[in-house]
Amino acid sequence: MSSSIDAEKTDKVPFGPRMRRLPRGPRPEKVPSLIATACTLIGLLDIAAGVFPRFRHSRIHALAQVLPGALGPYAAALAICAGVLLLLLAHGLRRRKRRAWRAAVVLLPLGALAQFTYRHSILGVVLPLLLLALLLRHRSEFAALPDPRSRWKALTNFLLMSVFSLGIGCVIVSTHPERTVGDPSVAELLKHVVYGLVGMEGPVDYYGRTSWTVGASLGALGLLTALTTIYLAFRPEHPAARLTADDEDRLRALLTKHGARDSLGHFALRRDKAVVFSPSGKAAVTYRVVSGVMLASGDPIGDVEAWPGAIERFMAEAEAHSWTPAVMGCSRTGGEVWTRESGLDALELGDEAIVDVTDFSLAGRAMRNVRQMVKRIERGGYTTRVRRVRDLSDDELDRVRRAAADWRGTDNERGFSMALGRIGDPADGDCLIATAHLDDPETPSPYGDLKAVLHFVPWGPDGVSLDLMRRDRGADPGMNELLIVAALQAAPGHGIQRMSLNFAMFRSALARGEQLGAGPVLRTWRGLLVFLSRWFQIESLYKFNAKFRPRWEPRFVVFRSSRDLPRIGFAAMQAEGFVTPALPRALRFLRPAPRQPRACAHEIGAEREARAA
């Protein structure tokens, strides 16, 4: 690469002795972490001071009175609310959120004013102002932008805060046994809490000022729940970024030139992902933000020489929002570039099964089980068809879509790193569909003779990658094996030389753990994976892929710190659809209507032509 080229419009070559190494990813800073810890401790002290009557007269409460957030010895309700707010604020400060910093800057002077007004405490004024000065001194540390959000979080806040307030309220009404009039039952205590949260007088009465203290505390909790819910409901939305039509066109152009490099490249066209491009526009990284994790999948798209520029933009975006950067399922080459350019670390996640079409054959002892299964199904009258999406009629394509949705078996579409999330899009005409058919008049079906569907996405000009496998639950076992064999046998006619099958997590551990001479640690690890396979199909996917004698290509997860791995794992499970936070069935009618997928330019053009016809 010529040295005269403008460095701002190009990207460094990721290989060679002069490769530029970017600084490490954002690490938790000491100042935000200390401030967040202080807010957490103060919040807990304030809640305890407002809830437990004996605690309010102890020496620990004397310490809590001079810390920011405690609003006076007579304000148990304000102490509880301040404690809750500080607990909510601590997480944002730890993540260096700008809005959390602004809230703290406003809260600390108010706390100091309350201390001076109600207690005339010098320490109660000095300590909050010192912490305020510290926040102002390090204001540059708190520059993270808001996360994607919607008004759906208002309902979540209402439910969680209601449960939280109900729990604290039960403690409040139960910590005054010596001042309680009579002997109220558990039902009466619970009823008193519910009434108190909405500002009404309940059935329980207390001697002296305790009744007013309990009522004020419960009312403050209810008011706090209402105010935070109203704020979340009416604050401006920051919706999650999605692919625009221009982004999709640019990604397709990159895949046309460089799509043969990575079998997961076409999955970057999922429209629920966002994208960052390198300064030269020759490479891109697609991602989704899940639970504060900026999750990319596969290798960057485009020219390898431009990958560092796209990675730098990705890391800058993660630091700007204080997101945790992570990459799922990148190749060995991609992992090397990610670790070199970003300072992240990598861990082998599993293996991808790739079958070379020219080497595939049903002959031989190793393929006997697959061969016998396919022959048995074919004798049962099943036939197969393998075609490009553009070769299917509209009616047949509609049946395939409806059948794939009905045969899914779960409420939500699963997949992120190796799933496109759609079938039959006009822009995806190069995708391959393998279908199994059986004419059975005795069991009519709304999908005709269709019994199973396999969908493949392009992998460069001469390869395909498996997207989804769906079959009728009433069909004979072995539909997936039948269609994979049919697709492999029909592949040469479509110019396909390689086929990527499912990704097998921890494949090497499963394979080595069952070999002769495996040590106790490896056997224990394999036993745990087999146990988890009851829910996540770890072992079954490995054994299914191994039937076709593939070659295994390792895939890696890239992460910043080992402390982030549990969080990344949970976010990946959410993205893949294995973990889906959902409302109870009785409240699911409150769920917003699902957002319709954005129509691309090709769909809009096809719709206009249909209307004109």
For residues 254 and 306, is the Cβ–Cβ distance under 8 A?
A: no
What would the 3-class secondary structure string for 341-379 be?
HHCCEEEEEEEEEEEEHHHCCCCCHHHHHHHHHHHHHHH
Q: 459: which DSSP letter?
A: B
The closest of 240, 93, 101, 254 to 598, measured between CA atoms, is 240
Question: Rounded to 5 degrees, what are φ and ψ at 577?
Answer: 90, 10
SS3 category, 320: helix
CA 485 to chain centre: 34
Please, which residues bridge with residue 287 across strands? 274, 296
Question: Rounded to 5 degrees, what are φ and ψ at 74?
Answer: -100, 5
The closest of 190, 223, 283 to 85, measured between CA atoms, is 223
Q: How far is CA 473 from CA 352, 360, 575, in A?
A: 27, 28, 26
For residues 39 and 358, is the Cβ–Cβ distance under 8 A?
A: no
**Which tokens sit at 456?**
């493949």
The closest of 395, 573, 409, 385 to 494, measured between CA atoms, is 385
For residues 80 and 168, is the Cβ–Cβ distance under 8 A?
A: yes
Question: Mean pLDDT of successive 10-residue segments in the chain (613 residues)?
Answer: 36 38 45 76 67 54 52 54 74 77 74 56 67 78 69 73 82 77 79 80 75 76 79 63 85 92 91 90 91 89 93 90 89 92 89 92 90 91 92 90 82 72 87 90 80 93 92 88 94 93 82 76 80 77 88 92 88 76 46 43 42 42
Q: 16: which DSSP letter?
A: S
For residues 56 and 176, is the Cβ–Cβ distance under 8 A?
A: no
Q: 437: which DSSP letter?
A: E
Query: What pLDDT is recorded for position 30?
Result: 73
Q: How far is CA 337 from CA 270, 304, 307, 320, 559, in A?
A: 23, 9, 8, 22, 13
Residue 297 and residue 558: Cα distance in Å, rounded?
10
Contacts of 98 (CB under 8 A, 6+ apart): 142, 143, 144, 145, 146
Residue 91 and residue 102: Cα distance in Å, rounded?
14
**Which tokens sit at 167?**
């729990």
Q: How far is CA 65 from CA 55, 69, 226, 377, 490, in A?
A: 12, 8, 27, 77, 77
Query: What pLDDT is recorded for position 518?
Result: 76
Query: What pLDDT is recorded for position 606?
Result: 44
Where residue 549 falls (left for φ over 0; alpha for ψ -120 to 50; beta otherwise) is left
The bridge status of strand 324-330 relative to strand 301-302 is unpaired
For residues 335 and 558, is the Cβ–Cβ distance under 8 A?
A: yes
Tracing tokens 């002077």 back to the chain, one arrives at: 109
**Which tokens sit at 421?**
């999330």
Query: What pLDDT is recorded for position 61?
Result: 52
Report the amino acid identity of residue 429.
G
**Which tokens sit at 571?**
């976010």
